[in-house]
Structures are given as C-alpha cells and as structure tokens.
Structure 1
Amino acid sequence: MATHHHAEPQGADLAVAAQATLERSGEQWTAMRAQIFRALAGFDKPASAYDIAEAVSKAEGRRVAANSVYRILDLFVGANLARRVESSNAYIANAHPDCLHDCIFLVCDSCGQTTHLDDDRITKGVRSAAEAAGFSPVRPVIEVRGKCAHCG
C-alpha cells in the first residue's frame, strides 16, 4: 500500500496543531471554536453537529445551537481541521490538520466506528480516472461501508 506517514498529535497537542492551522488560513481561534474542536476530538467515532452541540452545551452550562456548530464545522472542514463522513452526515477531527491529502474512510455499519486510511495509490487512481473523464477533482471522498474487525 502506498501510504505516507506523518505525526498525529493527540489531546492538547492536536488542539494546538488545529489552532495553528486555522490561524495560518487567516481565521481566528475563538473560545467557541476551541470548545467545538475539543468536543469533536473527544468523540471516538464520527459525531453529528447535534452530538457536538449537546457536548458543548453540557461543558458550557448553556444551550449551544446545532446551526452554530454546523457553521463552525464547515469552517473546520474547509481549513482541514475536520473531515466529514458524507454517508453518516457526521464529522471527525483530522488527526493531522497540517497535511492536506485525500483519505479513505472505512465505516462500520454495526457500531459506527470509522477508520481513516491514507493510500495515495488509490486516491491518485481516483483522481486520474476523474481527470480522464474530463473532470477536475478537488477532494475525492472515498467511503467503504461494511463491518469492522470487532463486529465482523
């Protein structure tokens, strides 16, 4: 498999990397954005905007609207801080926000666990096929639905 490797910060280090990436893109790292990123990174599988709004509401002691969370998640996806799992309409924190590349998600239909793979050979093939069809790919989304090793 043609993979590439990079550091994958966790916890506070991931938040620092996310903040630096967002600020390099010209955006501010506000307290609300920090709370939403912290909540997103705290989930062990993809989370919906409603899941994140509930987690932030509990942490803040006040109601946070899901539409506000959606706006920030859209910003995070655009800045490479989060990835959207299209088939689940859910999000995961990008474990390496400073590395822009295509990725593949393996989504378990039983437990919802989602595994992120980097395989440049496959994503390059998808890009090449799109270009051969006269299409200019921006960011391919590849999701494979099935059962994880634990549920299989």
Structure 2
Amino acid sequence: MSAHHHHDKAGEALTLAARTTLEQSGEQWTSMRARIFDALAGFDKPASAYDIAEAVSKAEGRRVAANSVYRILDLFVASNLARRVESANAYVANSHPGCLHDCIFLVCDTCGQTTHIDDDAITRSVRGAAEQTGFAPKRPVIEVRGTCSDCD
C-alpha cells in the first residue's frame, strides 16, 4: 500500500492546527467557528450539522441553527479542516489539516464508525482514470461500506 503518514493531532494541538490553517487561507477564526470545530472534533463518529448544532446549543445555553453550522462546515471542508462523509451526510474533523490529499473512508454499516485511511496509489489511480476520460477531478470521494472489526 502506498500510504503516507501523518502526525495526527488531537485536543488543543488539533484546534491550533485548524485555526492556523484557516487563518493562512485568509479566513478568520471566530468564536462560533471555534465552538463548531471543537464540537465536531469531540465526536467519535461522523456528525451531522444537526448533531453539531445540538452540541453547541447545549454548551452555549442558546439555540444554534443548523443552517449556520452548515455554512461553517462548508468553509471547514473547503479549508481542509473537515471532511464530509458523503454517504452519511456527516462530517469528521481532519486530524491533519495542513496536509491536503484524497481520503478513503471505511464506513461501518452496523455502528457507523468511520475510519480514514490514506493510500496515494489508489487515489492517484482514481484520478488517472477520470483524467483519461477527459474529466478533471477536483476532490475524489472514496467510501467503502461494510462492517468494522468490532461489529464483525
């Protein structure tokens, strides 16, 4: 497997890396963006905008609209701070926001756990196949549905 390796970040180091990445792209790290990122990073499975809105609402003691969360999540995806798990319409925090690459998600149909793996050979092959047809791929989404080892 042609994988590349990361130094995954968590906790405050992840938040700092996310903030730095966002600010380097010319965006501001607002308090609402920080709260949404912290909520997203706190989930151990992909979270929907509604899950995140609920978590932030509880923490804030006031209602946060899912529409506001969607807009910020779109910014996070565009800035490589989060990845969207397409088949689940949910999001995961990118534990290495400074590294831009294509991801492969393994999604458990039983428990919903999603594992992110990197394999540059596979994603390069997908991009190459698309380009051979004259298609210009921007961000391939590769998801494998199945059963994780805990649910097997």
Q: Deviations over 1:19-49 (max 9, x none)?
A: 0000000000000000000000000000000
Q: CA RMSD in A?
A: 0.4
Deviation of the 1:7 alpha carbon: 1.1
TM-score normalized with structure 1 length: 0.99
Deviation of the 1:110 alpha carbon: 0.4
Unaligned ranges ≥5, structure 1: none
Partner of 1:44: 44
Partner of 2:101: 101
* Residue 110 (structure 1) aligned with residue 110 (structure 2): yes
Q: Deviations over 1:71-111 (max 9, x none)?
A: 00000000000000000000000010000000100000000
Partners in 1 of 2:7 and 2:136 — Cα distance?
30
Partner of 2:130: 130
* Deviation larger for 87-96 or 2-11: 2-11
Partner of 1:22: 22
Runs of 4+ in 1 over 6 A off after TM superposition: none
Task: Name the amino acid aligned to 1:34.
Answer: A
* Residue 73 (structure 1) aligned with residue 53 (structure 2): no
Q: Deviations over 1:93-143 (max 9, x none)?
A: 001000000010000000000000000000000000000111000110000
Partner of 2:83: 83
Partner of 2:6: 6
* Residue 62 (structure 1) aligned with residue 72 (structure 2): no
Partners in 2 of 1:121 and 1:35 — Cα distance?
36
Unaligned ranges ≥5, structure 2: none
